[in-house]
Amino acid sequence: MKKINCILLVDDNPADNEFHKIIINDSDVCNNVKIATTGNKALEYIIKSGNSEAEFPKPDLIFLDINMPGMNGFEFLDEYHSLDSKLKSKIVIIMLSTSLNPDDAERARKIKEVTDFMNKPLMVDTLKSTIEKYF
Amino acid sequence: MEVYKNISIKNKLILIQLITSFIAVLICCILFVFNDIKTFNNSMVENKNSIAEIVGVNAIAPLLFNDKDAALQILTNLKSNPSILNAAIFDKDGAKFAQYDVNKTPFLFPPPGDDEVEDADFIDQKFMVVYQIMKDGEFIGTVMLRSKIVAFNEILINYVKVASSVLLGALLIAFIFSAFFQQKITKRIQFLMNKTKEITSTGNYSNRVLIKEMDEIGVLSKEFNNMLDQIQKMQNSLKDANADLEERVKERTAKLERSNQELEQFAYVASHDLQEPLRTISNFVGLLEKKYPKGGEEDYYRYFQFIMKATSRMQNLIRDLLEISRVGRNVQFAEVDCNKIILDLMAEMEISITENDATVHFSDLPTLIASEIELKRVFQNLISNALKFKNKNGTPRITIRAQENDNEFIFMVEDNGIGIRPEHNNKIFNIFQRLHSNTEYPGTGIGLATCKKIVALHNGNIWIESTYEVGTTFYFSISKHITSSINLAT
């Protein structure tokens, strides 16, 4: 079983974050789970991880929610796009949404930083297969 | 008469005037001729009367002296007047005294005093005059002259010649004048006619006819103008009413659109936002369910099963609600090949089709203008219904066909499923309408309502023909002229 170092959850919903954390821990696919409740906090974390990786492990995988107050998932990606490419290297971004709107999935697929699009909630099986697939 | 009906007023007027003048001039000519003939005859008779008188006066002496030679001499002098054919002198006893005949053949004069010879007689174009010779108030004899009517025929022919040339001349003049004057009337009628044509062709009722003369045509023109006034007034009030109506329809439509949009927005947002807490419940109950597995502490597992079932059902309901509220949002109409849609669907539904051991037949489906996503959803709903409501004994057979007419395409999705009782035919398209319990046939009752909304979006209709326990055919039409205002589609 593959195991990655860090997963960053970007979601404003604490219940979802809690649940996903449990699922990630249950599936035992990574060492660290970090949580950012806004897009800005996520950007900050990525920048910090560039400075001191010991304190802030660099995420290998980001699960990005679309619907967030303030900065939504797509706006986050706009900002993320202009980050130093060193910071972004090897980061896999998967968008997570409750949205059944096919437009969102379509839009997400067009963004080159986005590797995949999945629906909430994450489950142990799907998480495992995702890790297998992308790492 | 048939020809007369269709000739123009201009020609009718000319014709009427010509006929009138012809008749008038003809009557005049006839009267003139008769009058002239009469005058001519009278003068002829008078002329002969005076000749007879002269002969009579000259014959007084020969009668008194019984000198027959002298009397004959007097009569012979009449030779100078060739129209006199015969002449005779009778004595007072009525006995012939002397006779003169131009043609040597003696004419047998009737005895004097006979009524027949009293007046001029025109029989045989000859006539006789009689003169009674008197001397000092005493009757002494009679003179009789027989004369032919001089050149009567030539005179008559002359008269006819003159009369016909007068007639012709009069007709010619009448023709010229009537052709000229009729213009004054017909031109105005033509003007009125052209104006009417112009108004009917352009529909411009503000046009008016200019009135110069207040005769019948003037009155007609005036009434025509009055009529135009009324039409214009009616037209204007109709226009106003129309504009008013249009305005109100617009307002009402905008209002409806707004409330419809709001409603759909509400359904969309509500269902979208309802999902989140429900998902959280479902997520954590799922975790609890694992913590208290079957056969474990008390009845927790059973309770969690109930909660999970309920949340999953609610999630389905919300998902379907979201689906139906999304019909018509950002819809795009384009050319769609229905054969491709069905092929795609069959690939997507392969598992379900194989599980049910079902066959799907389709042939020659059209390519049309529609929303591919929505049309696909209709087919998907109908096919999955056919699979879901299959007959307990027998494998599902689904046949998809299409027909085309002038205005629309009609699709038929036929199955050999459990069928629908006729009393439910209309009910099934209502939202949340279900005919079976959830354990029998799971579902939310939104699928056919969604189909109905999608078909309405394509200006079409959806209906069924079904035989209970034998099978159902779903029909739906897709208009060739899609104009639907998306938000009013329901």
| B315 lies in some domain | no
Query: Is the pLDDT score of A113 beyond 70?
Result: yes
The residue from B104, B137, B168 where one domain ends is B168
The residue extents of the domains of chain A are 4-134
Average pLDDT of span A111-126 = 90
Assigned token pair, B175: 């023709």
Place of tokens 């949205």: A99
Q: How far is CA B73 from CA B58, B69, B76, B77, B128, in A?
A: 10, 6, 5, 6, 20
According to the model, what pLDDT value does residue A61 have? 95
Assigned token pair, B24: 């008038």
CB contact under 8 A, A121 and B275: no
According to the model, what pLDDT value does residue B485 have? 47
**Amino acid letter, B87:** A
Q: What is the ipTM, given to two decimal places?
A: 0.76
Q: Are B319 and A120 in contact (CB under 8 A)?
A: no
Q: Say if residue A131 is exposed, middle or buried (CB neighbours under 10 Å; 0-12, 13-18, 19+).
A: buried
The residue from B124, B141, B168 where one domain ends is B168
Task: Name which of A15, A98, A103 is nearest B275 (Cβ-Cβ).
Answer: A98
Tens-place pLDDT, residues A35-82 = 999 999 999 999 999 888 888 999 999 999 988 888 889 999 999 999
CB contact under 8 A, A98 and B272: yes
| B41 lies in some domain | yes
CB contact under 8 A, B283 and A19: yes
Q: Which residues in chain A have their CB less than 8 angstroms from residue B275's CB?
A: 98
Whichever domain contains B332, its CATH number is 3.30.565.10
Q: Which residues in chain B have their CB less than 8 angstroms from residue A120's CB?
A: 279
For an interface test with A, which of B272, B279, B377 has the most A Cβ atoms less than 10 Å from its Cβ?
A: B279
For an interface test with B, which of A26, A66, A72, A98 has the most B Cβ atoms less than 10 Å from its Cβ?
A: A98
CB contact under 8 A, B280 and A13: yes
With pLDDT > 70 as the criterion, what percentage of chain A qualifies? 97
Whichever domain contains B27, its CATH number is 3.30.450.20
Chain A residue with minimum CA distance to B285? A19
CB contact under 8 A, A98 and B319: no
The number of folded domains in chain B is 2
Chain A residue with minimum CA distance to B327? A101
Q: Which CATH number fits domain A4-134: 3.40.50.2300, 3.60.40.10, 3.40.50.720, 3.40.50.2000?
A: 3.40.50.2300
Going by C-alpha positions, the residue among A82, A83, A66 that lies closest to residue A74 is A66
The Cα of B439 is separated from the nearest Cα of chain A by a number of Å equal to: 26
| B60 lies in some domain | yes
The residue from B123, B144, B168 where one domain ends is B168
According to the model, what pLDDT value does residue B376 have? 92
Work out the end-to-end distance of chain B between its first and last CA atoms, rounded to an integer number of angstroms. Answer: 67
Chain B residue with minimum CA distance to A13? B276
The Cα of A78 is separated from the nearest Cα of chain B by a number of Å equal to: 24
Residue B369: which domain range? 327-488
| B185 lies in some domain | no
pTM for the full predicted model: 0.50
| B54 lies in some domain | yes
Q: Are A31 and A64 in contact (CB under 8 A)?
A: no
Task: Name which of B287, B319, B322 is nearest A22 (Cβ-Cβ).
Answer: B287
| B160 lies in some domain | yes
pLDDT bin (cut points 50, 70, 90) of residue A20 is very high
CB count, 10 Å around CB of B408? Answer: 19
Its sign, for the CA torsion B366, B368, B370, B372, is positive
Which residues of chain B are modeled with pLDDT < 70? 1, 113-124, 150-153, 296-297, 483-490
CB contact under 8 A, A121 and B283: yes
